[in-house]
Structures are given as structure tokens and as C-alpha cells.
């Protein structure tokens, strides 16, 4: 049941269960909106997502023909964006206040990566065996 919030705390949300997937995205839009080498985003179905506060305060920017980036107008933090057409929510992973229960599984749009950023292999880490090998 991970909860999340923006930097100033106006926007708060809760996800019922862990996200379906989390990716590191190196596309130019994620780099711009995050101000960093890449964006880290979690995806889930909207039926498991709930705003706890501040939904009416959120502003958004049409970042492409299909994309939209949402942010808190008070602190500028990226916040979750709802895509009603396919019933999905995209959550900036840094907004989670609790362990969302997943780790990034892929790095995408690496062809667009910042020239000053060296992509390390960054293999997924496990405390012990990965789940697929647990019963081996
Ligand atoms: Zn805020
Ligand atoms: Zn991206």
C-alpha cells in the first residue's frame, strides 16, 4: 500500500499494492522534467490508485502528442499523471514515501541518453537469489 507525496506535501496519493513495473527512462523529455540523467517511473492501473490530497492543485504540460507531465505548482515536483484512455497512472518513483515493493526492471530510450552520462550495467540487485532461482 505505498503512499507518496510531492516535496511540499500538497499532493498526496496511495497505490493499492506494488506498481506493475518500474523503468529508468533516458528519453529527452524525462531528462528535462527530472533535471537529471534519467527519469524513474512506475506504472499501474488507475483502479488501484487514489489521490489523498491536492489532486485539484495539479498542473500539467503536454510534453508530446500523446504524453503529459504533471507537476505540483507549489513546489515544482513531478507528480503522478493519469492516462484515462488506457486506465493507467504513471508515477515518478521519487515521489514514493514508502518502499513501493518493486525495483527498476529496464532502462529504456538509452539511444537518447545524455552524452555526459555513462550507463553502468546496473544489474538488478537481490538480497539473496532472485525469485526465479529461489526453489532451484
Ligand atoms: Zn508540492
Ligand atoms: Zn522518458
CATH number at 87 reads: 2.170.150.70
pLDDT at 126: 52
Looking at all shown ligands, the one closest to residue 11's CA atom is 1
Neighbours of ion ligand 2 (CB under 5 A): 25, 27, 30
Res 49 pLDDT > 60: yes
> Rounded to an integer, what distance in angstroms lies between the CA atom of residue 67 and that of residue 69?
7
Q: How many folded domains does the chain comprise? A: 1
Domain containing 52: what range?
3-133
Cell numbers for 12, please give them: 498526496
Looking at all shown ligands, the one closest to residue 6's CA atom is 1
pTM of the model as a whole: 0.86
50-83 burial by CB neighbour count: b if 16+ within 10 A, else e?
eeeebbeebeeeebeeebebbbbeeeebbbbbbe
How would residue 133 be classed by pLDDT, with cut points 50, 70 and 90?
low
pLDDT in tens, 62-117: 988 888 899 999 999 999 999 988 899 999 999 999 999 999 988 888 889 999 99
Per DSSP, the chain holds a count of helices (H) and strands (E) of: 1, 11
Amino acid at each position: 500500500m505505498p503512499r507518496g507525496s510531492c516535496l511540499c506535501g500538497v499532493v498526496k496519493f496511495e497505490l493499492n499494492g506494488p506498481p506493475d513495473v518500474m523503468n529508468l527512462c533516458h528519453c529527452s523529455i524525462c531528462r528535462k522534467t527530472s533535471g537529471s540523467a534519467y527519469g524513474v517511473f512506475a506504472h499501474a492501473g488507475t483502479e488501484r490508485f487514489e489521490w489523498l490530497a491536492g489532486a485539484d492543485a495539479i498542473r500539467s504540460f503536454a510534453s508530446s502528442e500523446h504524453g503529459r507531465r504533471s507537476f505540483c505548482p507549489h513546489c515544482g515536483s513531478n507528480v503522478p499523471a493519469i492516462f484515462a484512455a488506457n486506465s493507467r497512472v504513471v508515477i515518478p518513483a521519487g515521489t514514493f514515501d514508502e518502499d513501493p515493493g518493486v525495483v527498476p526492471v529496464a532502462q529504456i530510450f538509452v539511444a537518447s541518453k545524455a552524452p555526459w552520462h555513462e550507463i553502468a550495467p546496473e544489474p538488478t540487485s537481490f538480497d539473496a537469489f532472485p525469485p526465479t532461482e529461489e526453489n532451484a
